[in-house]
Amino acid sequence: MQVVHTIKEVRETVKEWRKEGLSVALVPTMGYLHEGHLSLMKAAKAGNDKVVVSVFVNPTQFGPNEDFESYPRDLDRDASLCENVGVDLVFNPEPSEMYHDDFSSFVDMNTLTGNLCGKTRPIHFRGVCTVVSKLFHIVKPDRAYFGQKDAQQLLVIKHMVEDLNEDIEIVGCPIVREEDGLAKSSRNTYLSPEERQAALVLSKAVFAGEKLVKEGEKDANKVLSEMRAIIESEPLAKIDYVQMVSQKNIEDVEVIDGPVLCAMAVYIGKTRLIDNFMI
Ligand code: AMP
């Protein structure tokens, strides 16, 4: 496995693979890898000849008061985890490699990004769409793998690829959880032991909401009230949002009569965590 830092090196390696007629997958990440990321890499390895993993904490998707500086980073550990699951190339650029001084072109979206996380993080999806587009242009993969953990992101990227006629298959992969239910996340490392315990209200609420919908509840507000009550029972938890939206346009629904995404963002102390179910 190779670890490279420049766009030129990625292009040269992928070009050689293409000459041999090999298929190529991309798994974009911000690093500090865990089992959730590794599940995407394993799926990528199973469906493609070669797997590229990008490890890049993308500055343009963080707001001014967010955790860009403090986001955990450990390239050596990430590289050995990637190697263990058979990744072929790790691309770890510096921000200056991705954004030159007079960088001024962004990929933005008029729909899908104004609700849920886009409400609290207004520039987030513009940064995500821009960096993912750039990675697509650099690697030119056949397939790219994204987790359902970031469900809005997955729907946004699928929409972007369709809008821009990118010839790339977007593969969504299920949420990987800790044994007690907490969705795995690099940000879980911010939690104190007490907060780690409190964070279980997210998955508890997700499981309770999912059960209600599976049992036939069609009233979105009933499901959401039950979920909010579970989260509000925890003094360390503060709800950012808990919403039921259509998977098609990410607009709120009152009646559950088609594919929905039920998503939440909750502060546990200062750490903002997300979780969801799709049905
Ligand atoms: P991140 O490094 O947080 O930007 O995540 C990189 C990719 O891994 C995204 O597509 C995430 O949705 C995915 N991912 C992160 N956590 C999980 C998880 N617990 N289960 C499945 N996929 C995940």
Q: Given pLDDT bands bounded at 50, 70 and 90, which one contains residue 78? A: very high
CA of 74 to the centre of ligand 1 (A): 16
Domains of the chain by residue range = 2-173, 186-278
CATH topology for 2-173 is Rossmann fold (3.40.50)
User: What pLDDT, on the 0 to 100 scale, is given for residue 154?
Assistant: 98
**What is residue 226's predicted lDDT score, i.e. its pLDDT?**
98
Order of all β-strands in the sheet with 143-147: 2-4, 89-91, 50-55, 24-29, 143-147, 169-173
Q: Positive or negative, the Cα torsion across 27, 78, 131, 23?
A: negative
> Greatest CA span in the chain, whole angstroms?
58
Best residue among 30, 40, 187 to mutate for probing ligand 1's pocket (most ligand atoms within 8 Å of CB) is 40
Query: Predicted confidence band at 83 (pLDDT cuts at 50, 70, 90)?
Result: very high
Do 7 and 89 contact (CB within 8 A), yes or no?
Answer: no
- Residue 102 C-alpha to ligand 1 middle, in angstroms? 30
Q: What is the CATH number of domain 186-278?
A: 3.30.1300.10
- pLDDT grade, residue 28 (50/70/90)? very high
In angstroms, how far is the first alpha carbon of the chain from the final one?
38
The mean predicted confidence, pLDDT, of the chain is 98
Question: What are the pocket residues of ligand 1 if the criterion is a CB atom closer than 6 Å to any ligand atom?
Answer: 29-30, 36-37, 39-40, 146-147, 149-150, 173, 175-176, 183-186
What are phi and psi for residue 84, nearest 5 degrees?
A: -60, -30
pLDDT band at 33, cuts 50/70/90? very high
* Per-residue pLDDT reduced to its tens digit, 145-160: 999 999 999 999 999 9
| Run of H or E including 258 | none
| 120: its two tokens | 């609290």
Structure tokens belonging to residue 21? 């007629």
Predicted local confidence at residue 127, as pLDDT: 98
Smallest Cα–Cα separation from 171: which of 143, 152, 149?
143
Q: What's the pLDDT band for 232 if we cut at 50, 70, 90? A: very high
Contacts of 197 (CB under 8 A, 6+ apart): none
Residue 229, H or E segment: helix 220-232
For residues 16 and 268, what is the distance between their CA atoms, to the nearest angstrom? 47
Q: What pLDDT digit, counting tens, does each position of 185-228 carry?
A: 999 999 999 999 999 999 999 999 999 999 999 999 999 999 99
Cα-to-centroid distance, 138 and ligand 1 (Å): 21
Q: How far is the CA of 53 from the centre of ligand 1 (A)?
A: 12
Query: Tokens in use for 14?
Result: 């992928």
The pLDDT assigned to 279 comes to 96
User: Which strand (E) or helix (H) includes residue 60?
Assistant: none
**Best CA proximity match to 186, nearest among 79, 51, 19, 29:** 29
Q: Which atom of ligand 1 is nearest to the CA of 175?
A: 20
Q: Which atom of ligand 1 is nearest to the CA of 37?
A: 8
State pLDDT tens for residues 241-276: 999 999 999 999 999 999 999 999 999 999 999 999
What are 88-134's pLDDT values in tens digits?
Answer: 999 999 999 999 999 999 999 999 999 999 999 999 999 999 999 99
The residues assigned a catalytic role are 37
